[in-house]
Structure 1
């Protein structure tokens, strides 16, 4: 009888112990659901407003469900579809080429300074860290690219300034140092493998989580950049889509606040009652749309990185 009572107490205690992780998981899941809703709802609202009628938005404010469905905002953007499509091509080319080169350069810089047998590792680590704290200033930076390198009005001017990131160099260095086993590298050297073969054949495959992380953030950096187009591009030939949308938004704001200018444009054959509020939301959709497709590609590498960390721990 006492043994049975003891088993009941033990099972009850075990059940209470098991309920705690389940409760914690439920709380975590609930928090992530709430956070996801908070992130998704604004996007849904932007999409809804972009398909709404301009007058209903001005009179009644933003609604999650359009009071009156209208494609006027996208028809307004379609009038400049040629320039938008060309700028899309520029942004895609700059993002793909810049991200690929950036990941390679960052990894090639981070790998040597992560090895304990590299005699100048501390110097080059400090050199990268120093650039995070101090810079030469905007004017010397501009003169280097325009006068010394002669990159004005070229695609290279949209790629080269963002190639290197000292922060991601240090992050990648730490990952190489803490995750890639030194014994594996020594075994490869004993087998006769060179440094390049070790780097591309062993280090890179073992470091896909950090490589994917750097690639994702560099992709976002290149895609969202409009400042380099503002500084280095003086015509509409090589401007990025983000800068194009920035210019369009600035023009819409100017015309909205200057009825006289809008009236003059109408006299010249342009639009007078253009959808200003809904066009702003449509610009957001046009600018953010393609970059969303980058997340599913990198997601599996993040999951793999979490799994490797959990197994290692």
Structure 2
């Protein structure tokens, strides 16, 4: 009979994992402390884990125009939710036929998807297609459609689908199930780990994106949160580079530019952590099986 390990025997493992957890938390804590540190303290003593005097001026400046920040949050959350759901649907449905050897021309479809990973038309043709032909300008769809399909995600899901026994699909077809019913009622429930994994990847991509906003959004009121905060930090950098002007120099002297950079990280990082809490139990299994199988 196998004896249960005594608690003290697991103590080295607990200590090692605790230290590793602290090392993971340390960068976040350093960013938080930096956002609450005054500019003069950062200039004289550098970043520290504990600010001598709590200074919330960085957050005050960021939320000075709370209406725009709230609008940026609304746009980014909407884009992330809708984009993640649509991209997950497109990715999973595109991966299913190319994972089945019984599908005619599946090898050609695999090559087409792979080709998009190796070669691209370039930024200028992409911009012309989005602007002139798809008319993706100043629209929420301009922040969603360009990232709707990702070849690497499709291959990741395809490899996971190939790990599912083909006998299950054949048995369902014998029972008269249609392809849609097989996909949504058999394949999809069995693929929760890999679908949860790419859900995290896709949502992070939508949440952190500011590039589409620069390229396709002209209206300042329709800017996503990341682009809005990037604009604020860029303006601060421009002011600091123009410090030869006396008026600007006086303004920048009391401007917590470094703390604002840290504060933007804190402002944007919170909501996306919630997504990770829901998918973390599937994450390792999904990426390992999806990357190795097939």
Counterpart CA distance in 2 for 1:306 and 1:28 is 25
- Name the residue aligned to 1:93: 78
- Name the residue aligned to 1:289: 270
Counterpart CA distance in 1 for 2:286 and 2:228 is 37
Counterpart CA distance in 2 for 1:220 and 1:57 is 30
User: Higher mean Cα deviation, 55-64 or 208-217?
Assistant: 55-64
Distance 1:87-1:262 versus aligned 2 partners, 3 A rule = farther
CA apart distance, 1:182: 1.1
Counterpart CA distance in 1 for 2:153 and 2:232 is 33
CA apart distance, 1:38: 2.7
CA apart distance, 1:303: 6.7
Distance 1:111-1:26 versus aligned 2 partners, 3 A rule = farther
Counterpart CA distance in 2 for 1:30 and 1:130 is 47
The answer on 1:185 being equivalent to 2:166 is no
> Gapped runs of 5+ residues in structure 2?
none
CA apart distance, 1:237: 2.1
CA apart distance, 1:233: 0.8
- Name the residue aligned to 1:252: 236
Which of 81, 102, 105 in structure 1 is aligned with 2:87? 102
* Greater C-alpha radius of gyration: 1
CA apart distance, 1:123: 0.4
Distance 1:164-1:306 versus aligned 2 partners, 3 A rule = closer
Counterpart CA distance in 2 for 1:302 and 1:82 is 36
Aligned length: 287
1:120-159 aligned at under 5 Å gives the runs 120-159=105-144
Counterpart CA distance in 2 for 1:43 and 1:186 is 50
Counterpart CA distance in 2 for 1:278 and 1:300 is 34
> Gapped runs of 5+ residues in structure 1?
1-13
Name the Cα RMSD after superposition.
Answer: 2.8
The answer on 1:164 being equivalent to 2:149 is yes
**TM-score of the two chains, using structure 1 as the length reference:** 0.84
The answer on 1:202 being equivalent to 2:186 is yes
Q: Match of 2:33, SS?
A: helix
The answer on 1:242 being equivalent to 2:223 is no
- Name the residue aligned to 2:215: 231
1:254-293 aligned at under 5 Å gives the runs 254-260=238-244, 263=247, 273-293=254-274
Distance 1:142-1:303 versus aligned 2 partners, 3 A rule = closer
Asked whether the equivalents of residues 88 and 198 of structure 2 are also in contact (C-alpha less than 8 Å), the reply is yes
- Name the residue aligned to 2:98: 113
Counterpart CA distance in 1 for 2:161 and 2:263 is 43
CA apart distance, 1:219: 0.5
**TM-score of the two chains, using structure 2 as the length reference:** 0.89
Counterpart CA distance in 1 for 2:85 and 2:256 is 39
Counterpart CA distance in 1 for 2:246 and 2:229 is 19
CA apart distance, 1:261: 5.6
Counterpart CA distance in 2 for 1:213 and 1:173 is 13
Asked whether the equivalents of residues 263 and 272 of structure 1 are also in contact (C-alpha less than 8 Å), the reply is no
Cα deviations across residues 247-277 of structure 1 (Å, max 9, x unaligned)?
11111111122225672597xxx88622112
